[in-house]
Amino acid sequence: MLNLTDWVHLSLRPDTPLLRDKLAKGYPHALLVFDRETVLNLPEIALLPYNTKAWRSRSAYIPVTDPQAKADLLRQQAETKHFPSLEVLVHYGLSLALLTRIVLASERERSLVTETLAACEVSCQYSLETDAALLRLPEAYAPTTELALREYFSACRSAGQLLPPPNIPFD
């Protein structure tokens, strides 16, 4: 409805209201960390002041593409902490070559991924880390889909290959 389907949506920081809500509901996440400056200097970049789930007026979802307006918006967010859900939009795609690391919520989740990749002989050139502080996990983080994910990763290891993702609730 907002004509934003051809864009990859990124956040400049991991602690967004949307991610905080998802983690509080127990939905595990992997945080893909990209090189900020390189991404912001890509040719087809826009900024969006609000996450689209906020459903403000349609005019709030017009991507900001003017270089000066983008610089002003980034400066305003850094100085005032307004726009906690500011998104960086990359038009049509984003190369994983700009990825610097992958952060998982818990050591248990990181181990599941690492063991599964090894069993399936899938090499991962990115650092797989746990960093609860970076993700700002709720004090009582408890993944609601943990059993389904463990079964999925086990099935992948048994098959020796990555299988289609499991059907789990995501909100």
Amino acid making up residue 76: Q
pLDDT for the residue 54: 57
The predicted structure's pLDDT at residue 58: 56
- 148 pLDDT above the threshold of 80: yes
Give the model's pLDDT for residue 139. 81
The pLDDT score that the predictor gives to residue 171 is 59
Q: pTM, whole model, 2 decimals?
A: 0.81
Tell me the average pLDDT of the chain: 86
Query: Which pLDDT band holds residue 56 (cuts at 50, 70, 90)?
Result: low
Q: What is the per-residue pLDDT for 83?
A: 84
Stretch 158-168: mean pLDDT: 92
Residue with the larger pLDDT of the pair 3 and 120: 120
Q: What is the pLDDT of residues 30-53, one digit of tens each?
A: 899 999 999 999 988 999 887 666
Amino acid at 124: C
d(CA 104, CA 115) in angstroms, rounded, equals: 14
Give the C-alpha separation, 9 to 73, whole Å. Answer: 16
The mean pLDDT value for 112-139 works out to 88
* HSE of 78, CA atoms in CB hemisphere, 13 A: 7
What is the predicted pLDDT for the residue at 63? 85
Among 142, 107, 116, 167, CA closest to 27? 142
